[in-house]
């Protein structure tokens, strides 16, 4: 599995293993250490470094991190970095905030150590839980597609491996593993899914539920990639730029299928500095296209405003050096996206 992951990344000569001290990432570190001792993968030279990220969210986290560093050094990985991060509060929950802080630390370590890939220990069980959470939240194709085996420098070689198998690897290698208490904390939806929901599904529906969910993710990844490609092409052909935003022609946008139209709208929001809109916000923008209610604005996450104006209004606003004001009327034919920046910006 690791060989295939490195092959897909072009066989980087130096790789970085992210390790928490848990069985999944320790098993991955152990496998990577085997190839580090050999000095090559499929005849291609390779060396392996490691990084341990201390999120400082639990009592005793520093001790766990230090012990994990010692284990990784004992496996022969070099160098092994310990990075301590501050997890800032965000509007997306503690798990997302911790993930953002961790990924920033991993990227910084990879850059400093000149590593072409970062290995993460997510397993098939993690993938199944991700898909199930996406279903429960009513998410779209991209979310249900789960975690990618490769995204930029991030590689997940163990997505086809069960969690029980990583435990077996650690037992065979006699590695002392740490079990994160938050993984069993019912305060987190992911923990409840792992401890309560997945075992119930396996009991009531029979074995193989996790594999089926992971297979669903693999299928949907292909669908999501195809739709993303079509949406990128459509957006490139529709977008028009102004000094303070972008606009899309209403008639041509309306001609797109809903699956593409929603994605194109999301791309316009991202293009001016916004965040991924939820389904409800996308429907609100759809209402502008259907000319339901006012001409806007509709507020999207990340301080983005969307409204309809006519081409003549846009031209008058540009000629006057100002911003056109949306109004009702049959002449409205453009969907405008602007970022509402703070005064000091």
Residue-wise burial string across 238-258, b where 16 or more C-beta atoms lie within 10 A, e elsewhere: bbeeeeebbbbebeebeebee
**25 annotated to a ligand binding site:** yes
**21 annotated to a ligand binding site:** yes
**24 annotated to a ligand binding site:** yes
**271 annotated to a ligand binding site:** no
**79 annotated to a ligand binding site:** no
Feature table: binding site for ATP = 20-25
| Binding site as annotated, residues | 20-25
């Amino acid at each position: 599995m690791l060989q295939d992951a490195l092959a897909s990344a072009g066989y980087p000569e130096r790789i970085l293993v992210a390790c928490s001290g848990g069985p999944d990432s320790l098993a991955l570190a152990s496998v990577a250490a085997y190839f580090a001792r050999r000095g090559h993968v499929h005849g291609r030279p390779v060396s392996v470094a490691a990084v341990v990220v201390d999120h400082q969210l639990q009592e005793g986290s520093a001790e766990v991190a230090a012990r994990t560093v010692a284990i990784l050094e004992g496996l022969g990985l070099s160098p092994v970095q310990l990075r301590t991060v501050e997890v800032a509060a965000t509007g997306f929950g503690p798990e997302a905030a911790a993930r953002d802080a961790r990924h920033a630390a991993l990227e910084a370590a990879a850059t400093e150590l000149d590593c072409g890939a970062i290995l993460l220990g997510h397993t098939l069980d993690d993938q199944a839980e991700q898909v199930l959470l996406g279903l429960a939240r009513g998410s779209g194709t991209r979310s249900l597609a789960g975690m990618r085996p490769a995204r930029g420098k991030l590689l997940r070689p163990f997505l086809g491996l069960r969690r029980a198998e990583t435990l077996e690897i650690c037992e065979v290698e006699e590695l002392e593993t740490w079990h994160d208490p938050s993984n069993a904390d019912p305060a987190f939806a992911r923990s409840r899914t792992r401890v309560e929901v997945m075992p119930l599904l396996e009991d009531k529906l029979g074995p193989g539920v996790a594999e089926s969910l992971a297979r669903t993710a693999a299928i949907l990844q292909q669908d999501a990639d195809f739709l993303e490609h079509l949406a990128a092409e459509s957006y490139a052909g529709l977008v028009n730029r102004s000094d303070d935003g972008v606009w899309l022609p209403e008639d041509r946008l309306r001609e797109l299928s809903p699956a593409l139209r929603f994605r194109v709208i999301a791309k316009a929001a991202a293009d001016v500095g916004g965040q991924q809109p939820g389904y409800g916000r996308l429907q609100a923008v759809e209402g502008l296209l259907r000319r339901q209610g006012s001409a806007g604005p509709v507020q999207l996450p990340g301080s983005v405003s969307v409204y309809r104006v006519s081409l003549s209004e846009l031209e008058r606003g540009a000629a006057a050096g100002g911003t056109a004001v949306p109004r009702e009327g049959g002449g409205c034919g453009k969907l405008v996206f602007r970022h509402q920046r703070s005064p000091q910006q």
